[in-house]
Structure 1
Amino acid sequence: MSFDTILRNGRIAGRKNGPVDIGVRDGRIAAIGPALEAGASDGTREFALDGRLVFPGFVETHIHLDKSCISDRCACRTGTLREAIETVAAAKLAFTEDDIYARARRTLEKAIVQGTTRMRTHVEVDPRIGLKGFRAISQLKRDYAWAIDVEICVFPQEGLNNDPETFELLVETCEGGADLIGGCPYTDSDPHRQIARIFELAMHYDVDIDFHLDFDLDPSWMHLDEVCRQAKGHGWGGRVAIGHVTKLSVLDPQALQRVGAKLADAGVAVTVLPATDLFLMGRDAAHSGPRGAAPAHRLREQGVVCSLATNNVLNPFTPFGDCSLLRMANLYANIAQTGRPDELQACFEMVTTLPARLMNLEDYGIAVGNPADIVVLDCADPVSAVAELAQPVLGMKRGRISFQHAPATLNRPDGMQTGLTA
């Protein structure tokens, strides 16, 4: 058998056997095994991985490309969620399609070189921004399909029932190719009606749903209950995700157990956004401030599909970020105090295989026949990847090398150097 590319001696995440070769042909994984032969073709590229970790790339389930990289335009003072929403709402009045595209491209390229191969981005739609964000991100999605698969989730950040024209714009984007629809009930004048209308649209267009939900620290009420009720009632289990749900961070163990059971029963997935939730939550605490990040590892133990994601980059919601999902997994491990090997493994899964399940990606994985979406980390296993923030050294999208980083080397007196070599 001939190959276009062979990756030699890589350790595949999730497999207990030793290093293997991965043969790629025509954009797909054609063979996996020890000592693959290049075949008759003399044009086969070979990369020596030297036992490094191989996996199908990070999966970003919740990011806002359209409003990234605007920290320099926003003068924030309190650091609260309300201020972030209001400040960004004011800033986006001046957005143009070219501006959105340029900033989103900067953020997307960061994600690519950090090893992300699949992404769901939320895009705001309302009468003030119109379809500028949707059009810009749709173009970006097409332009960067060589490196990353992007899903667009359109949603009403500033409300739906209090903003009647927004519904028509959401319909227009669904007609125009949006991949799924989202909601933000906590900004709406009638949260339950927004939830119901989002489900109506999702069923009409046969798309998945992803809500921003329960973004505060008051556990006395939750929109989560209504989302679970609608998901179960409409048979939309496995097609609904909720992001933030910071209320869950302040539940006692018994209450969290009840919520976890409800989520698992309804088939509603949870995305935790550690950087944003840490930055915005607990601002009114004079001391002993709460972390504010929902305990994804506890929910995962109950059968809830959980992911860790970026949310915002360089804007009032999160004034930092390099789009590294491995850094997000490491951050979550720190704040959740999860340090055992099995817990670090779980953190790795929450930026890889579990978000792939959340997004219903049927062709994700290092397996013969799947697209050759492959990322190599400078480590031997997922536990070390999270614990040590391993550097991505090579990425491949559908069989084409999409990025490379030179591994760090020590310039020894004897001149010996080691690294990824073609």
Structure 2
Amino acid sequence: MNELILKNVRLPLFEEDALYQLTIKDGRYEHIVKQTEAAPLQAVPFTQAEGQLALFQEIDVEGRLLFPSFVDIHTHLDKAFSLKAVPNPTGTLQEAISNYSEKAHLFSSEEIERRVMKAALHSLSYGTTHIRTHVNFELDVSRDVALEHLRAVLRAREALKDHLSIQVVPMFSRIHQRTTEELRIIEAAINLGVDGIGGAPHLDEDAEKAIEALTQLAIKHDKFIDLHVDENDDPSICTIQHLIEAAETYRLQGRVTAGHLCSLAGMDQLKAQRIMERMADVNIHAVTLPGANLFLQGRNDQGVVRRGITRVKELINEGVLIAAASDNVNDPFHPFGRGDMLQVGLLTAYTAHLAGEKDLTQVLKMITSIPAEMYGLKAHEIKGKAPAEFVLAEATDLHELFASLSPSRHVFSKGKWISSRSSELTFQDAELHQFFKESHAYDVSEV
């Protein structure tokens, strides 16, 4: 379809109570016009077009919300849906890591590729069009396992490239302790075409040396750095300080991302404040992973159990660019989740006490435009000439969006509608069904 016109659109990142008309031409936003009133119903009503959106050029979306597609900036597609094969009875991070590594040699490259495809397509169906996946590099298991699993993820990335983009970030460990042969294998892995350098230096016996080695690797290959940082309850664990120093020393502002930052939440207020200020100064990006952190952290607490997530609201207030992401789906690190970034946004809103209108706007940005900036997308927003990548949601305001998680969702990207999820509740009693339909009917005339 060369041109698509959408009327009676709500844009929550613009002005939620207003209605807009969007014209999309050749896959880009051509015109974005604020309507002075609800548009005359010359367009096909959405309720009539739903299920066959591609057939219509002009659609009245009846006041539904439209926002940029999701960007999941931190996930583990290679581990997704592995929970049955790798259980985690204690629910701890340590057991999840240990159990997965013990089973890694049993997973064929075909199984890894299948998991990546399944998880990526689930995410796409919910509205995610860009994914950064961290990949286990099991060099301590075997060279073959490490490289074969990475190649499997890269094959899936290639297979899906016409539909969604995937950045691949292998997680390297103990770089400063590796033999010459092991370093050669790591170099070969990077040369396969990965996008960034990853790792979890807080798990290393010498975190400072680990960060230095990972940083040098990134500089040598001109890659961004995206690390798991301080995923621990212990406030004395503070490898983020070493990462700040490395980013400043090597002038890597805007090219370093720190995921988790759990121990930051338990630190002394003055120490935490200084760290957050320094992160903002050096432009280190942060990512909160509420699902996995709520599940894994606080396991030894009694009585009042810590939430595990980082200082989301304070990082926002300090000017640190912070996103929210899914982390894990149905694996030993997080047995729940479904690759739905609205669900991640809801968990973020709950745990970070973000519930006002401005707060929820920020949450929506944390799963759309903010991670897009970290990802390197130049124009992932609704503006003239920008690529039209959006989600049309079953809601007319942000509170409804996060409360209902929009059971119906329609995703547009690369010049076409690419997925639709439709869910309509039906009461068996005809009178109840009619009451329900009438109570949920959209009325754009109220705008």
TM-score (norm 1): 0.91
Tell me how far apart the structure 2 counterparts of residues 331 and 148 of structure 1 sit (CA, whole Å): 25
Could you report, residue by residue, the CA deviation over 1:210-262 in whole angstroms, capped at 9, with x for unpaired residues? 00111112212411001000101111111100111110121243332212101
Could you report, residue by residue, the CA deviation over 1:174-209 in whole angstroms, capped at 9, with x for unpaired residues? 222111111211232432222112111222222211
Moved more, 135-144 or 162-171: 162-171
Q: Any stretches of 5+ residues in structure 2 without a counterpart?
A: 44-54, 427-432, 443-447
Task: Output aligned runs, 1:215-226, within 5 Å.
Answer: 215-226=231-242
| Partner of residue 249, structure 2 | 233
| Partner of residue 243, structure 1 | 259
Tell me how far apart the structure 1 counterparts of residues 248 and 24 of structure 2 sit (CA, whole Å): 41
Q: How has the CA–CA distance of structure 1 residues 389 and 219 changed in structure 2, closer, same or farther, with 3 Å as cutoff?
A: same
Q: How has the CA–CA distance of structure 1 residues 166 and 81 changed in structure 2, closer, same or farther, with 3 Å as cutoff?
A: farther
Q: How has the CA–CA distance of structure 1 residues 414 and 91 changed in structure 2, closer, same or farther, with 3 Å as cutoff?
A: closer
Could you report, residue by residue, the CA deviation over 1:122-164 in whole angstroms, capped at 9, with x for unpaired residues? 11224332222221221212222233221111222x5433454
Residue 120 of structure 2 aligns to a residue in which SS?
helix
Residue 175 of structure 2 aligns to a residue in which SS?
coil
| Partner of residue 52, structure 1 | 64
Q: How has the CA–CA distance of structure 1 residues 246 and 166 changed in structure 2, closer, same or farther, with 3 Å as cutoff?
A: farther
Q: How has the CA–CA distance of structure 1 residues 418 and 286 changed in structure 2, closer, same or farther, with 3 Å as cutoff?
A: closer
* Conserved? CA contact 2:101–2:138, under 8 Å: no
| Partner of residue 203, structure 1 | 219
Tell me how far apart the structure 2 counterparts of residues 10 and 83 of structure 1 sit (CA, whole Å): 48
Moved more, 21-30 or 99-108: 21-30
Q: Is residue 25 of structure 2 the alignment partner of residue 25 of structure 1?
A: yes
Question: Structure 2: which amino acid aligns with 1:136?
Answer: A
Q: How has the CA–CA distance of structure 1 residues 130 and 414 changed in structure 2, closer, same or farther, with 3 Å as cutoff?
A: closer
Moved more, 377-386 or 68-77: 377-386
Q: Is residue 411 of structure 2 the alignment partner of residue 412 of structure 1?
A: no
Q: Is residue 28 of structure 2 the alignment partner of residue 12 of structure 1?
A: no
Question: Structure 1: which amino acid aligns with 2:11?
Answer: I
* Conserved? CA contact 2:22–2:31, under 8 Å: yes
* Conserved? CA contact 2:287–2:323, under 8 Å: yes
Q: How has the CA–CA distance of structure 1 residues 382 and 272 changed in structure 2, closer, same or farther, with 3 Å as cutoff?
A: same
Q: How has the CA–CA distance of structure 1 residues 388 and 341 changed in structure 2, closer, same or farther, with 3 Å as cutoff?
A: farther
* Conserved? CA contact 1:329–1:386, under 8 Å: yes
Tell me how far apart the structure 1 counterparts of residues 161 and 58 of structure 2 sit (CA, whole Å): 24
Q: Which of 194, 205, 215 is the matching residue for 1:178?
A: 194
* Conserved? CA contact 1:161–1:189, under 8 Å: no
* Conserved? CA contact 2:198–2:226, under 8 Å: yes
* Conserved? CA contact 2:391–2:410, under 8 Å: yes
Could you report, residue by residue, the CA deviation over 1:31-85 in whole angstroms, capped at 9, with x for unpaired residues? 22257999xxxx8623331111111111101000011111111243222111110
Tell me how far apart the structure 1 counterparts of residues 264 and 228 of structure 2 sit (CA, whole Å): 14
Q: Which of 54, 76, 79 is the matching residue for 2:88?
A: 76
Q: Percent identity, please.
A: 27
Q: Is residue 123 of structure 2 the alignment partner of residue 111 of structure 1?
A: yes
Tell me how far apart the structure 2 counterparts of residues 145 and 84 of structure 1 sit (CA, whole Å): 31
| Partner of residue 160, structure 1 | 175
Tell me how far apart the structure 1 counterparts of residues 413 and 252 of structure 2 sit (CA, whole Å): 31
Could you report, residue by residue, the CA deviation over 1:261-310 in whole angstroms, capped at 9, with x for unpaired residues? 01101111111111111111111123221111102121011000001111
Residue 161 of structure 1 aligns to a residue in which SS?
helix
Q: Which of 415, 419, 425 is the matching residue for 1:399?
A: 415
Q: Is residue 307 of structure 2 the alignment partner of residue 307 of structure 1?
A: no
Aligned residues: 413
Tell me how far apart the structure 1 counterparts of residues 110 and 96 of structure 2 sit (CA, whole Å): 23
* Conserved? CA contact 1:306–1:358, under 8 Å: no
